[in-house]
Amino acid sequence: MSIMEMELRRYSSKTNLHEGGNFHPGTGAADEVGTNGGEGYCVNVPWSCGGVGDNFYIYAFQHVVIRIAGFDAGRGDSLGCCDVTPAGYSRMTQMLGDLCGGKMLVILEGGYNLRSISSSATSVMKVLMGESRERVSYSDYAFKSWSANYY
């Protein structure tokens, strides 16, 4: 079995510390790819500012496979300060399910606002149980038109 960890988070290149070391796990640089036997099994996709939402995460998700159920990027989470909605998490779950034929393991591992976690986790679970048929569509054009400010 192969496991790869993927982080899509805010990162400050000026201090070379993820959110000044105040945002768990205190890292996030693109060149941090794991250590020792885990080298090459970690991918960081750093954002240069907070507030990124569905379009950014889904755009990045289209280019790399990531683990899901880290809800600290969810709308309303004060630590993550991002804006990924339950619909965005639903869409990423649909995308991953399409990629792996529905065979996936989802482990809750992040998120610090119970209301945000519960709504996002419910959205993910509905997809996994086949109850969500809503397909959220995001175009690359919408992302590219204002992405330069966030990378």
pLDDT tens column, 99-112 = 777 777 777 777 88
Pick 149 or 9 by higher pLDDT: 9
Domain annotation covers residue 150 = no
Domain annotation covers residue 149 = no
Distance CA 71, CA 111 (A): 4
- In this structure, the answer to whether residues 44 and 57 fall within a common structural domain is no
- In this structure, the answer to whether residues 44 and 55 fall within a common structural domain is no
- 18-28: average pLDDT: 54
pLDDT, residue 126, reads 92
The helix/strand/coil state of 94 is helix
Please write the tens of the pLDDT for every residue from 45-62. 777 667 778 887 777 767
Pick 60 or 130 by higher pLDDT: 130
Across the chain, the runs of DSSP E, i.e. the strands, are 5-10, 42-47
* Residues of the chain above pLDDT 70, percent: 58
Distance CA 68, CA 64 (A): 12
Where does 71-113 have alpha helices with state H?
86-100
Counting the structural domains of the chain, the total is 2
- In this structure, the answer to whether residues 58 and 113 fall within a common structural domain is yes
- 25-34: average pLDDT: 69
Pick 103 or 92 by higher pLDDT: 92
Residues sharing a CB contact under 8 Å with residue 146, sequence separation 6 or more, in sequence order: none
Distance CA 89, CA 8 (A): 13
- In this structure, the answer to whether residues 90 and 103 fall within a common structural domain is yes
Residues sharing a CB contact under 8 Å with residue 82, sequence separation 6 or more, in sequence order: 10, 50, 51, 52, 53, 57, 72, 73, 74, 75
- 120-127: average pLDDT: 90
- 16-33: average pLDDT: 58
pLDDT, residue 95, reads 83
Distance CA 121, CA 134 (A): 16
Q: Give the pLDDT band (50/70/90) at residue 119.
A: very high
Domain range for 107 is: 50-142
- In this structure, the answer to whether residues 10 and 59 fall within a common structural domain is no
- In this structure, the answer to whether residues 43 and 59 fall within a common structural domain is no
Domain annotation covers residue 62 = yes
- In this structure, the answer to whether residues 80 and 128 fall within a common structural domain is yes
The helix/strand/coil state of 34 is coil
Per DSSP, the chain holds a count of helices (H) and strands (E) of 4, 2
